[in-house]
Amino acid sequence: MDAPLAPGLYIVATPIGNLGDMSRRGAEVLRGVAAVACEDTRITGKLLGHLGIKQRMIRYDDHAGDAAREGLLALAAQQPVALVSDAGTPLISDPGFKLVREAKARGIAVTSLPGASAAVVALTLSGLPSDRFLFAGFLPNKAKARADTLGALAAIPATLVFYETAPRLEAALTAIAQILPGREVAVARELTKKFEECRTGAPDALIAHYATHPPKGEIVLVIAPPGEPTTDPGDADALLRAALATRKPSQAAAEVARTTGLDRKALYARALELK
């Protein structure tokens, strides 16, 4: 780097698998700062080693406590300090929000060095509408909280993006099939790595596939937006039948109305007939 870096906080994105995705500017900043704040010094130490950078590392996450944050803010007020996470873009389901908020409140310069984020890579690979999307972090682990989260987002007219882990994939797909019936899903796995895969289809087909091909590695789920109101009564009947398997007619009608845009009263009447 030609000129020394000015004091401040430098948010630096790092690769999510393929080390070739580290930007040159990001690497120059990591070389030029006074210290690198990171989640795990072993993981960041490996990246720095790969880049041939010897650098002071300070462990930091948003639960680190006020004292750790104060220390970093005091340093960033006087010298350049980088913030990285284990992989991808800091603050995106990773630490940094409180640090950035406080730095800005104190007039400390904040700069962001862009790079990979698994959510965006998955969205671009999914083949699902990319004009409007909502990133919602990790789905909750508990069944009721997961169902509530999906239900609360069901009517949002946007593609939904979630982070997931392999052991929870089947439960997540099952919940999506029940709560967002009729919506296509993409399972994006091991992005930018040797065994990268993005499989898009109906949740039931994906569940069947992964029952015989147990998923490994890191996963992003991308869910298609709610469809146009369906005019085919057969489609609505199929959705109602699926919803009635686990719900009362009023709830089934409300759910199908939410995902299809059809009239809830008419769906309720039909649900009573089908029950």
If the CB atoms of residues 5 and 188 are measured against ligand SAM, the closer one turns out to be 188
Region 144-163 residues binding ligand SAM, contact defined as CB under 6 A: 163
Q: Which of 17, 96, 181, 215 binds ligand SAM (CB under 6 A)?
A: 17
Q: Which is nearer to ligand SAM, 90 or 181 (CB)?
A: 90
Other CB atoms within 10 Å distance of the CB of residue 204: 14
Residue 191 gets the label, from left (phi > 0), alpha (psi -120 to 50) or beta, of: beta
Contacting residue, 23, 79, 112, 165, with ligand SAM by CB under 6 A: 165
Question: φ, ψ for residue 94 (rounded to 5)?
Answer: -145, 165
- 191 belongs to the binding site for ligand SAM (CB under 6 A): yes
Q: Does 192 participate in binding ligand SAM (rule CB under 6 A)?
A: yes
With CB atoms as reference, the residue minimizing the distance to ligand SAM is 88
Six-digit token string for 20: 């070739």
CB of 220 to ligand SAM, least distance (A): 5
Here the tokens at position 244 are 């009635």
Distances (CA, A) of 142 to 38, 96, 100, 145, 148: 29, 26, 30, 5, 10
Pairing of strands 80-83, 8-12: parallel
9, 35, 48, 87: which one binds ligand SAM (CB under 6 A): 87
Residue numbers of the site for ligand SAM (CB under 6 A)?
16-17, 85, 87-89, 92-94, 117-119, 163-165, 188-193, 218-220
